[in-house]
Amino acid sequence: MTSNHGAAGPSLSQLGWRPFYAQQLTLQDLEAGFPARVASVHRSRIDVLHEGGDASVTLPGSLLADGSASVTVGDWVLVESGTDRMLRLLERASLIARIAAGSQHEMQPIAANLDTLLIVSSCNADFNLSRLERYLSVALDARVEPVILLTKADLCDDPREYLDQVAQVARNVAAIALNALGDETPKRLAPWLGAGQSVAFVGSSGVGKSTLVNTLTLSAQQATAGIREDDARGRHTTTARNLIAMPGGAWLIDTPGMRELKIGAVESGVSAVFDDVEALASACRYRDCSHEGDEGCALQAALERGEIDERRVTSYLKLQREAANAARTTRERRERERFFGRQYKAVQDQQRKEKQGR
């Protein structure tokens, strides 16, 4: 995407601009540059949309070196006038992220400044309640409204069976069974696709995310591929994230399929998804009960009485451990960074003193 300041672009409000972002900019900021929204991210630059059109913007070196602050699709940035150089990243209203692959436990941004996260599963062997609970925990922790979409409803005998299962783990979350190719699909999703609204699709490969994008945008922007018949697992078709304009004025971010979503420190999200489990756990005899054989465990008693599903308790304990480990790892990394920062500053101060003493 090359600089295109001459052509008129969408207004800031059409791009999803809110008072929250405007409050972060001073008069001096607006004299130095202009706000723009990130449409796609490359190795050392980003493509952005703004009121003047679009531009390819160079990322500052300091941002490239700081993985925790890396720019992602949906972000708002301040771009220096006349140079196509990014000045700074604006604070996010929301961020959907996961732990990146590898051993460093770095957070990988997926999409920023969303209004709605559309969690896509399908009415076949891909359907997995524990995976849905993961996505829900991430969405609720980020204060983004989740909506569950169950595709391939036209290919199963009774989609209501899947919807009933979803209702047991997501009582206050909208869930819709649909045909991703259906003519009625845009209308059914219209409540979340108003002008200036920002949504993202997440889900495993092969569940129909790219097909939904094509249906909602009335085009064939995204390549699609079939699923493996033996286990209903899909093949990756989307390989990058992009901000896509929709006919009704909404902005859509499609994401690569994720078989595994490693959650970060989303403890509040886990608590929101498993409020029924935590209500039972609050009656445990000991506050630090592990819920795995401890004396006086109310959860174990509820399981024995058949009051709660064992799969749900297992999922809760697993996600709770993952979120707590991520929080501890984040604290340790930040403390390590502060320590080395202090060490570096001490060395710099000592070198300055030595130079002054010569």
Confidence band, pLDDT 50/70/90 cuts, at residue 209? confident
- Asked, for residue 140, whether it belongs to a domain, the answer is yes
Number of structural domains in the chain: 3
Q: DSSP letters of 227-249?
A: B-TTT-PBPP---S-EEEE-TTS
As a whole number, mean pLDDT of residues 9-37 equals 95
5 a known binding residue? no
pLDDT of residue 237: 40
Q: pLDDT-based confidence at 9, cuts 50/70/90? A: confident
Write out the two tokens for 233: 């697992």
What's the mean pLDDT in 161-167? 96
Shared-domain flag, residues 64 and 107: no
- pLDDT tens for 231-263 read 444 443 444 578 999 999 999 987 765 556 788
Based on the domain organization, do 40 and 130 belong to the same domain?
no
240 to 117, 343, 344: CA distances (angstroms): 17, 39, 37
Q: Is 255 annotated as a binding residue?
A: no
- 212 belongs to a structural domain: yes
State the average pLDDT over residues 106-127: 91
11 is in an annotated binding site: no
| CA-closest candidate to residue 86, choices 108, 43, 107, 55 | 55
> Which of 89, 108, 125 lies at the terminal end of a domain, its last residue?
89
Instruction: Tell me the average pLDDT of the chain.
Output: 84
202-216, 221-235, 267-281: which has the highest mean pLDDT?
267-281
Looking at residue 344, its pLDDT comes to: 58
pLDDT at 24: 97
Q: 196 CB contacts (<8 Å, ≥6 apart)?
A: 13, 14, 15, 16, 17, 249, 250, 251
Q: How would you write 107-166 as a 3-class SS string? A: EEEEEECCCEEEEEEECCCCCCHHHHHHHHHHHHHCCCEEEEEEECHHHCCCHHHHHHHH
Instruction: Determine, yes or no, domain membership for 356.
Output: no
48 and 132 in a single domain? The answer is no
Q: Report the relative pairing of strands 174-177 and 145-151 from DSSP bridges.
A: parallel
- Are residues 244 and 104 part of one domain? yes
Same domain, 120 and 103: yes
Q: Which of 89, 109, 134 is the last residue of a domain?
A: 89
Q: Looking at 221, 254, 287, which one is the last position of a domain? A: 254
> Is 210 among the annotated ligand-binding positions?
yes
Provide the pLDDT for residue 114.
97
pLDDT at 224: 39
The residue among 254 and 301 whose pLDDT is bigger is 301
pLDDT at residue 227, rounded to an integer: 40
- CATH number of the domain bearing residue 61: 2.40.50.140
Do 238 and 273 belong together in one domain? no
Domain annotation covers residue 131: yes
Q: Is 154 annotated as a binding residue?
A: yes
Asked if residue 171 and residue 304 are part of one domain, the reply reads no
Identify the pLDDT of residue 144.
Answer: 97
Average of pLDDT values for 86-97?
94
102 has binding-site annotation: no
What CATH number is attached to the domain comprising 193? 3.40.50.300
44 is in an annotated binding site: no
Q: Determine the Cα–Cα distance for residues 198 and 216; give it in Å rounded to an integer.
A: 14
Taking only the tens place, the pLDDT of each residue in 172-190 is 999 999 999 999 999 999 9
Q: Is residue 23 part of a domain?
A: yes
Tell whether 207 is in a known binding site. Answer: yes
Q: Are residues 330 and 232 in the same domain?
A: no
Asked whether residue 122 falls in the same domain as residue 72, the answer is no
Q: Whole domain around residue 273: which residue ranges?
A: 267-334
Q: What is the mean pLDDT of residues 271-299?
A: 92
315 known ligand binder: no
What is the enclosing helix (H) or strand (E) of 66? none
**Cβ neighbour number for residue 11 with a 10 Å cutoff:** 11
pLDDT exceeds cutoff 80 at 315: yes
Contact between 310 and 277 under an 8 Å Cβ cutoff? The reply is no
Shared domain for 84 and 186, answered yes or no, is: no
Q: Is 182 annotated as a binding-site member?
A: no
- Residue 346 among known ligand-binding residues: no
Q: 341 in a domain, yes or no?
A: no
- The pLDDT of residue 240: 59
In a domain, 350, yes or no: no
| CA-only gyration radius of the chain, Å | 23
Is residue 31's pLDDT more than 50? Answer: yes
- Same domain assignment for residues 109 and 205: yes
Task: Among 21-30, 78-87, 180-189, 335-344, name the one with the lowest average pLDDT.
Answer: 335-344
Answer yes or no: is 12 within a domain: no
Instruction: Say whether 239 counts as a known binding-site residue.
Output: no
DSSP per-residue string spanning 67-113? GGG---TT-EEEEETTTTEEEEEPPPS-EEEEEPSSSS--EEEEEES
Give the phi and the psi of residue 289 in degrees, each rounded to 5: -55, 135
CATH number reported for the structural domain that contains residue 288 in this entry: 1.10.40.50
The four Cα atoms 300, 302, 306, 310 give a dihedral, to 10 degrees, of -50
Annotated ligand binding at 211? The verdict is yes
The answer, yes or no, to whether residue 223 has pLDDT greater than 70, is no
Same domain, 70 and 131: no
Q: Is the pLDDT of residue 226 over 50?
A: no
